Amino acid sequence: MDSGLAALLGAAVGSATTLGAAIVNGRAQARSQHAQWSRQNRRDAYAGYLDALHERDIAMDAVLDALRPDRPDLPGVDERIGRFIALAREVHRAGEIVILEGPASVAEVAERVAHASSDLSQVMRRMAEHAHAGDTTHKAEDTALAAERERILYRAVQDFRLAARSTLGTTD
């Protein structure tokens, strides 16, 4: 084989190898960047959801505190309920983003949080209705049920945090 042809063939093989390596490296880098982008979107969705839950929980505590007296300030209760409802809508919106970003395991835990929140909200609603009616016969029972449902909700939120951390790869 002629030395010029051998050099040309060597250069062609070298160029093809370099091109192949560049394509492989480019794809690997693209996958890595996409994974980082996806992780950041999930992190933002999870953080937004937890923030919305926190704000809503503060409002929920304010409603429950306003309902504690035997004769609660009903306009104050109604005002706090209005704030709670507005923040509950924000939680729902943030939860939809969590479901969209996934994965399914985190979405399932977020749905458990939503279910626990709904259960507690029903008790709060009943407590408010009794307060408006001036009925205190169920106060102790409703207060105990609300405390139990708050514990269930708290555990569900803890489970969400763990699932989110696991998905994001921050389990330490």
pLDDT for 86-124, tens place per residue?
999 999 999 999 999 989 999 999 999 999 999 999 999
| pLDDT per position as a tens digit, 15-26 | 767 767 666 666
* The CATH classification of domain 40-168, taken from the options 3.40.710, 1.10.10, 1.20.120, 1.20.1420: 1.20.1420
Q: Is the per-residue pLDDT at 34 higher than 60? A: no
The per-residue pLDDT for 26 is 65
pTM of this structure: 0.79
Distance of CA 161 to the CA centre of its chain: 8
Of the pLDDT bands very low, low, confident and very high (cuts 50, 70, 90), residue 52 is very high
Would you kindly state where each structural domain of the chain is located, as residue ranges?
40-168
Q: Is the per-residue pLDDT at 32 higher than 70? A: no
Phi/psi region, residue 102 (left: phi>0; alpha: psi -120 to 50; beta: rest), is left
| pLDDT per position as a tens digit, 131-158 | 999 999 999 999 999 999 999 999 999 9
Quote the mean pLDDT of the chain: 88
Render the burial of 24-50: b for 16+ CB within 10 Å, e for the rest. eeeeeeeeeeeeeeeeeebeebbebbb
The per-residue pLDDT for 5 is 73
